[in-house]
Amino acid sequence: MTWVITSLCRDCLDMACVEVCPVDCIVQKQSGDGDWPNQLFIDPEECINCGVCEPECPWEAIFEDEQVPEVFQADIALNAKIVETRDDFEVPEKPDTTPPTPEQVKENKAKWNYDG
């Protein structure tokens, strides 16, 4: 079992999860690439299943792979796919950001048709 960052992270990138990850398994594509969405990913081969990232995500985008909502099932394979091109990904540095408001989180979930 591993953790998965879902589409709820797409274009949101708070990166609080990156700061707490003890094994640096949360990564981002190094340069803009149309094949990869602008979000963070968890390398399933590096993840030690500690779960410290999940409560840190203000966008509520991180789930255990077995708990990923149906609407985000494709994100499991997308996170796993980074293993094939891992050298193209890096652990990002966290910029100073303002956490989202509860209303922004709600709007982001609605955008993805997720009411969880």
Per-residue pLDDT tens digits of the chain, which is 116 residues long: 789 999 999 999 889 999 999 999 999 998 765 689 999 999 999 999 999 999 999 999 999 999 999 999 999 999 999 999 999 999 998 788 888 999 999 999 999 999 88
**Pairing of β 26-29 and β 41-42:** antiparallel
- Helical ranges in 68-114 per DSSP H: 74-81, 102-111
> What does the angle CA 44 – CA 45 – CA 47 come to, to the nearest 5 degrees?
60
Domains of the chain: 3-111 (3.30.70.20)
| Euclidean distance between CA atoms 82 and 29, whole angstroms | 9
pTM (predicted TM-score): 0.90
